[in-house]
C-alpha cells in the first residue's frame, strides 16, 4: 500500500525517572513535536529504548501516548521482535490501543534468512489490519532486507513502507526502484534524509527531530515543493546536528540534547551510559548553531 505516511515523523525518546517512565516529561515532548509541525510520532522504536523496558511500562506508555496525541498526528508503535509470536502479540495490542500504524524492526540476533524475513513480515501483516512499516537497520539487528526481499514484502497488502537505515545509498536506490508504486520508502537515517527524499522517499523517521522538529519538517516541505536550494540550505544546517546526535550510540546523545532543551528526559538505561563530556560539548555547539536554546 502507498500513501500512509508523508512528511516528518519523530522517533520519540522515552524519558525515564527513577521509578519508571516519566509521563509528564513525555507529554511535554509531544507538545514540542506538535508545535514543531511533526506529522507523526513513532513510540517505542529503537530511540525509545524498548529493549530495556518492561511489558507493563510499554503498555503504560502506549496507552498514554494514544490519550495525548491528537488525531491529526499519526501515532505509530514499535512492535518488532526477534520472536515472531511476540511481534504479533504486540502488534495486535497496538491495534487494540488505537495506533494508526506499527513499525516492525527486522528480527535481531537470530540472523534469519531472506525467506525468514519475508515470512516474518507476512505473518505480522496478516495478524493486523493496520499499516505496517518494515524497519531495515542492519547495524543494529545483524540482518539486512535485500532489495529483492523488499520488493516481495511490498506486495503484501498492508505493508505501507520500508524505513531504510542501512546507510548504503546504492541499496536504497535499488530498493526504491523495486518498491516504487507498491509501498513507500522512508528515510531512517538523518544524514541521508535529503537524498532519500529526492529519490522518492515520502517521509523521514527522524532522531534529530526530537531536538529540531521544525527544521526537519521544513526540509520535507522544501523537497515536496521542489525547492532544492532551500532543502539544501536546511540540510546543511542539520548535518552537524545529525553528526552530534550519532557521536555515540543512539539515543545517548539525543536524550542529552533533550535535557539541554529543558526537558526531563533522564538518562539512558543500562547498558547504555551517560554521554561523554567531549560529545556533550559537540552536541551543545551543534544545537546552538541550529538556533536551539540550550541550558548553560
**For residue 82, how far is the Cα from the chain centroid?**
18
User: Residue 32 phi/psi, 5° resolution?
Assistant: -65, -40
User: Annotated catalytic, 163?
Assistant: yes
Q: Considering 135, 217, 255, 284, which one is annotated as catalytic?
A: 135
Q: Which residue has the cell 544524514?
A: 191
Q: Considering 58, 74, 163, 284, which one is annotated as catalytic?
A: 163
Are 274 and 267 within 8 A, CB to CB?
Answer: yes
3-class secondary structure per residue, 69-101: CCCCCEEEEECCCCCHHHHHHHHHHHHHCCCCE
User: Annotated catalytic, 71?
Assistant: no
Are 268 and 251 within 8 A, CB to CB?
Answer: yes
The Cα–Cα gap between 290 and 205 comes to 19
Environment class of 237 (CB within 10 Å of its CB; exposed 0-12, middle 13-18, buried 19+):
middle
The Cα–Cα gap between 44 and 52 comes to 11
Active site residues per annotation: 135, 163
Amino acid at each position: 500500500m502507498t500513501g500512509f505516511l508523508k512528511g516528518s515523523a519523530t522517533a520519540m525518546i522515552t524519558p525515564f525517572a527513577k521509578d519508571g517512565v516519566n509521563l509528564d516529561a513525555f507529554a511535554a515532548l509531544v507538545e514540542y513535536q506538535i508545535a514543531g509541525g511533526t506529522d507523526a510520532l513513532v513510540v517505542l522504536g529503537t530511540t525509545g529504548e524498548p529493549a530495556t523496558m518492561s511489558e507493563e511500562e510499554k503498555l503504560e506508555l502506549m496507552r498514554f501516548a494514544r490519550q495525548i496525541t491528537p488525531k491529526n498526528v499519526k501515532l505509530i508503535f514499535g512492535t518488532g521482535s526477534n520472536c515472531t509470536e511476540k511481534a504479533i502479540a504486540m502488534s495486535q495490542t497496538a491495534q487494540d490501543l488505537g495506533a494508526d500504524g506499527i513499525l516492525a524492526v527486522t528480527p535481531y540476533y537470530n540472523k534469519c534468512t531472506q525467506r525468514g524475513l519475508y515470512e516474518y513480515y507476512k505473518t505480522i501483516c496478516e495478524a493486523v489490519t493496520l499499516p505496517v512499516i518494515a524497519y531495515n537497520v542492519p547495524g543494529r539487528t545483524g540482518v539486512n532486507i535485500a532489495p529483492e526481499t523488499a520488493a516481495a514484502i511490498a506486495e503484501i497488502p498492508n505493508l505501507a513502507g520500508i524505513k531504510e537505515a542501512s546507510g548504503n545509498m546504492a541499496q536504497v536506490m535499488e530498493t526504491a526502484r523495486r518498491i516504487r508504486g507498491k509501498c513507500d520508502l522512508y528515510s531512517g537515517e538523518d544524514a541521508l534524509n535529503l537524498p532519500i527524499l529526492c529519490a522518492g522517499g515520502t517521509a523521514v523517521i527522524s532522531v534529530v527531530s526530537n531536538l529540531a522538529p521544525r527544521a526537519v519538517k521544513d526540509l520535507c516541505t522544501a523537497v515536496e515543493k521542489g525547492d532544492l536550494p532551500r532543502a539544501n540550505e536546511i540540510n546543511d544546517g542539520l548535518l552537524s546536528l545529525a553528526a552530534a546526535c550519532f557521536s555515540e550510540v543512539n539515543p545517548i546523545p539525543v536524550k542529552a540534547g533533550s535535557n539541554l532543551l529543558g526537558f526531563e528526559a533522564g538518562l539512558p538505561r543500562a547498558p547504555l551510559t551517560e554521554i561523554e563530556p567531549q560529545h556533550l560539548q559537540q552536541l551543545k555547539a551543534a544545537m546552538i548553531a541550529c538556533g536551539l536554546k540550550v541550558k548553560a
